[in-house]
Amino acid sequence: MKLSSRILTSLVLLLTLVSCGEDINPNYQEEVAEPEFYHRSVKQLTDVIVHDIFSPPVASRIYSYSSIAGYEALAAGDPGLESLAGQVPHLAPAPAPPAGTEIAYPVAAVVAQLRVGKSLIFSEPKMDEFRDGLYEEIRRIGVPEEVFQASVAYGEQVADHIIDWYGGDMYKQTRTFPKYSITDDETKWQPTPPDYMDGIEPSWERIRPFTLDSASQFRPLPPTDYSLEPDSRWMQEVNEVYTVFTGVDEQESAERQAIAQFWDCNPYVSHTVGHLMFATKKITPGGHWVNIAAIAAKQADADFARTVETYALVSMAMYDAFISCWEEKYRSKLVRPETFINRHIDQEWRPLLQTPPFPEHTSGHSVVSRACAVVLTDLYGDNFAFADDSEEEYDLPTREYPSFLAASDEAALSRLYGGIHYRPAIEYGVTQGEAVGQHLLERISTRAQITEARSQ
């Protein structure tokens, strides 16, 4: 009787596997831990962010919460990773995985990342189509169906936990806050051509940060005093922007233009040709650094855990950097070079790049790029040379850098070449981003052994 029961059980299992068209792969746990699955999931989210035209601060929110979800799902099953719960003061521990159930934690991480990403964008069908195709690929590896379903269920549990958490970050409330108020004060920011858009996210300093004590914790030095005196420091800084392509040879001029265009990262650029108006879409500054994170992880042959860790830390750094930067932008509310130069120097002048719709000081590129570069340097080293092909799909050639910090320096300077920032916003922004990035590294430990050592 016992033998018959065993035979019957075996036959049922065999019929189940055959009916599913499934051959169990004894190495499935190793094969589902291929980092390319996660890289592709993040890239899909980037493509949807570009399609849906999210502003840079909002894009940073999408990247960070989805990446944290993937990280927390993986950390639940990886003793080498430390949960972010408690380290981020307002993040509670994720649900514990069910006892006695086998889970492929890399699958759960992909599920959590995709589900949270989907919850934060508009084009949900694009995420669904990608998800379904990726799930089929994972199934074809030979993951037992019960393990696959348990992994999906746990990933969704973690995603629900993160979705509930981000609901308290003040984002919904800021959707109802007043718009930026334009005044007659000519020292203050005014909407710029060609679209004269309202100031983007004037209340972003109210968004809850991850590690900052407050949005103003690393408030930068103030901008130079406004002045119409010809010999004033202010006018010198204005003239540097106005004459940035004057007095340089053709080769240097071309290089400055190439740098500005490579780091433009404007999610929505308007074009007017005769009576025709159209727009081009591109990645945000944060999206560019997420792609650099992918380049670094692949070049270093990072395993699944290091890959997920990289995305989480970089996206958290950019998120806090945007909060820090936007607090200063809407505190100082400084006028953009385009507006000042058109009023007082040359009414026909236009910057090389389209001026973004928010105040000038400090430079978002400078703050965010430096914060991300600091984190990547901590992960992959100070002299990590890499080729950045992030803009190739936008018809811009690859650029090479000897380090992440060198890339962030160029990203910052690109805003001067683009005609959209004065030098103090760039230099003070780099200092601000450095402080944000270092602060995050001091507060967050993703490796369990590091956290244990610090507590001793």
Query: Residue 40: which CATH number?
Result: 1.10.606.20
In a domain, 5, yes or no: no
In a domain, 138, yes or no: yes
Task: Tell me which of 171, 203, 221 is where a domain ends.
Answer: 171
Tell me how far apart the alpha carbons of residues 179 and 14 are, in angstroms, rounded to a whole number.
63
Write down the pLDDT at residue 276. 60
Does the bond joining 362 to the residue before it have cis omega, within 30 degrees of 0?
Answer: yes
Structure tokens at 436: 């944000």
Write down the pLDDT at residue 272. 58
Specify whether 119 is located in the same domain as 221. Answer: no
Specify whether 100 is located in the same domain as 217. Answer: no
**First-last CA distance in the chain:** 59
In a domain, 193, yes or no: yes
In a domain, 4, yes or no: no
Contacts of 387 (CB under 8 A, 6+ apart): 295, 398, 399, 400
In a domain, 204, yes or no: yes
Specify whether 185 is located in the same domain as 262. Answer: yes
Task: Tell me which of 119, 138, 171 is where a domain ends.
Answer: 171
Q: Which single residue is written with the structure tokens 């037992």?
A: 144
- Residues forming beta bridges with residue 160, ordered by sequence position: none
Tell me how far apart the alpha carbons of residues 405 and 226 are, in angstroms, rounded to a whole number.
31
Dihedral sign from CA coordinates of 150, 154, 155, 156: positive
Write down the pLDDT at residue 8. 43
Structural domain for 156, as ranges: 21-171
Task: Tell me which of 103, 138, 171 is where a domain ends.
Answer: 171
Q: Please give the tally of structural domains in the chain.
A: 2
Q: What is the pTM of this model?
A: 0.93
Dihedral sign from CA coordinates of 304, 305, 308, 309: negative
Write down the pLDDT at residue 38. 98
Beta carbons of 45 and 121 less than 8 angstroms apart = yes
Per residue of the chain (456 residues), give pLDDT as tens.
Answer: 344 444 444 443 434 444 444 578 889 999 999 999 999 999 999 999 999 999 999 999 999 999 999 999 999 999 999 999 999 999 999 999 999 999 999 999 999 999 999 999 999 999 999 999 999 999 999 999 999 999 999 999 999 999 999 999 999 999 999 999 999 999 999 999 999 999 999 999 999 999 999 999 999 999 999 999 999 999 999 999 999 999 999 999 999 999 999 999 999 887 555 656 657 889 999 999 999 999 999 999 999 999 999 999 999 999 999 999 999 999 999 999 999 999 999 999 999 999 999 999 999 999 999 999 999 999 999 999 999 999 999 999 999 999 999 999 999 999 999 999 999 999 999 999 999 999 999 999 999 654 443 344
Specify whether 28 is located in the same domain as 62. Answer: yes
Phi, psi of 225 (to 5 degrees): -60, 130
Specify whether 110 is located in the same domain as 244. Answer: no
Specify whether 149 is located in the same domain as 202. Answer: no
Write down the pLDDT at residue 52. 97
In a domain, 359, yes or no: yes
Beta carbons of 315 and 64 less than 8 angstroms apart = yes
Tell me how far apart the alpha carbons of residues 208 and 215 are, in angstroms, rounded to a whole number.
8
Specify whether 269 is located in the same domain as 406. Answer: yes
In a domain, 8, yes or no: no
Write down the pLDDT at residue 268. 82
Specify whether 398 is located in the same domain as 315. Answer: yes
Write down the pLDDT at residue 275. 54
Tell me how far apart the alpha carbons of residues 441 and 436 are, in angstroms, rounded to a whole number.
9
Specify whether 361 is located in the same domain as 435. Answer: yes
Tell me how far apart the alpha carbons of residues 181 and 183 are, in angstroms, rounded to a whole number.
6
A 10 A CB-CB count for 395 gives 7
Write down the pLDDT at residue 274. 60
Specify whether 85 is located in the same domain as 220. Answer: no
Specify whether 190 is located in the same domain as 262. Answer: yes
Specify whether 268 is located in the same domain as 223. Answer: yes
